[in-house]
A and B are shown apart, each in its own frame.
Chain A
Amino acid sequence: MKGLYRGGAILATLTVAGGLLAGCGTGTNNASNGTAGTNATTNSTNTAAGSGAGGVVNIVWAAPPITHTGLRQTLISKFNAEHPNIHVTLQDQNSNTDTNRASLTTTIGGGAATPDVYMGDVVWPAQFASNQLAMPLNGVVPSNFFNRFSKGLVQGATYQGKVYAAPFFADSGFLFYRKDLLKQAGLPVPTSWQQVQQEAETLQKKGLVQYGFVWQGASYEGLTCDFTEYLTDAGGQVLNSSGKAAIDSPQAIKALTFMRGLITSGVTPKSVINFQEPQSEDVFVQGNAAFLRNWSYAWSDSQNNKSSKVVGKVGVTVLPTFGGASGYSTIGGWDLYINPHTQHTQAAVTFIDWMTNTQAQTILAKQFSEIPTNAQVANDPSVQAVSPIFGLVSKTHYVSRPDQNPNYPAISKALYTNVNAALTGSVSVSAALQQAQTQINQAASGGGL
């Protein structure tokens, strides 16, 4: 009797535990079915609104907020209205580029069919191509598709002869300056880096402004962008033509010494070594700095009455140089990629075709001040009149980051951590560059951390 009782108890526990495990199992199944929660909902709307009502194809576009968050929805509504057979839904992504990438690689690497189209950084093509996270566009888009883009942009989205993304909007570094302060002190708009430093010092000494020049010096991707501009202007490069590190060079020493000098001379606040774009822009729009290096959106932010104290007092120009004709600007911006697991390739292609065509690109430029990638729109005088930034685009010398290597993230990290260390003064400029040289070579061969 006692034995029976005990046996029953064990059986009961096992059943409960078994149920628990089974419950776990179903839970995970559900989760993986809809890896991006939206998947499940998309599928259900698919059947509800879709196949029943004349074959509407539902696709999902994953994109982080673009300065003005209304941009994504504006374009989607317009597209949906013009394409009754395709319905695009927005999947909101994190505005931190690295977090965005982590979520996309997890989702797509796990085999999810959505998002069908995603917006990704211009430095991703090589890495995403080599990890098969993006669909090569050659063959699925019309042969003349790539002719519409401004020169050099398609090259940036190419890896081993295939194009993996459609350039969506471009960006690059500009020099923003306080025209009221320059006028007050009788100074010209600077064209050389030395001039920026001298004029900033003058303005600070006269007590017109607290800080001279702010930029992005934190240990992150943005510092790679800033450093690349000084480096290229000084005549140096990160990787040589055979893909080996070339950063331990006199040119790199010149570039980094100048950056460090901005801090030691007091032109740039010491805390710049923690500044990403928002912090540097904040100091400038609060009226506490004379010069700012930032991306194009800083123009509209500085002209926004709600957040800016310097509305109407800001000028913008191309980045200065150490002595050449003009400086270099790092190419930034965003591309549209297609998920290789998508079940709606045709609809996805229709979507990116429309998004990079004249209508959408004009909306992008005129209503939201983003630099269009479509050459026809970029050269349209009525578009160029919208923002002083657009007039500078043709005068800018562009430089790409060494993103043709699939290990670019590790290469960039080796660069920005060491440059950042030199900016803090905890290691010397030459020691930091030697260290970067070693680490970049490890990274380029796949052994970077």
Chain B
Amino acid sequence: MTKDRIDRRFAALKAEGRAAFVAYVMAGDPDAATALEIVRGLPAAGADIIELGFPFSDPMAEGPTIQRASQRALARKMTLNGTLDIVRAFREGDQDTPVILMGYLNPLVNRGFETFAKQAHDAGVDGLIVVDCPPEEADPLSDALEAEGLALIRLASPTTDDKRLPAVIRRTSGFVYYVSVAGVTGVKSADAADVAPAVERLRKASGLPVAVGFGIRTPEQAAAVARVADAAVVGSALVDEIESAAKLNENVTEKVLLKASELAKAVRSARVGTK
């Protein structure tokens, strides 16, 4: 299982001739039970892959939206174990949708990489994205994850030049995550015209599918990216829905899944007639 689930999902989508819609939400936002409800609803809303954030006190690469989500989750005592519990509960009803955990290194250092990798595998996690773990520092984590069949998804960015590319894609598996803007999450907007050549370069160098994220907020942007990339990742726009629905005492799960389905629809219809 595990990273095979990612490979199978991308192979199936390739056969369908469309890109994946990757939805990001934070474990424990607005609380553990609602986050689980949201994650359980995401596949039916059209999410092909789920990225589940695990909170960290100092999320240096996040914009204000996900910083606040992190703080909400920590205020509700969300932990690494709590995050794995959500994945385990989700897996009881879904054996096919890949789940990628996304966060920062220190909670994993604190747990110990080997212990964490075993626990993550047992819970049904398929891969990890660790923002502050560049390839230069990744070997110990890669060793632990690979031993459990989990993928360490590598990040590439607009500043990743040709000289650096081989280091970035070494030991990568699952897919490559292209951070489409130099900046934090949810602030700048990705430009599909700039994204296309970058995706092509990464695809060629890695032989893996390329997901694009960090600057996609609207269905239009998601569709534009889905035309050129293998996956479009949306995080902050979904987390904003959670925040505003919670503030207005609306049904949080309903609101965020509605938003997810709009984005999924845009991704699914992006390449119609262009294949």
Do the two chains belong together in a single complex? no
**A interface with B by C-beta (< 8 Å):** none
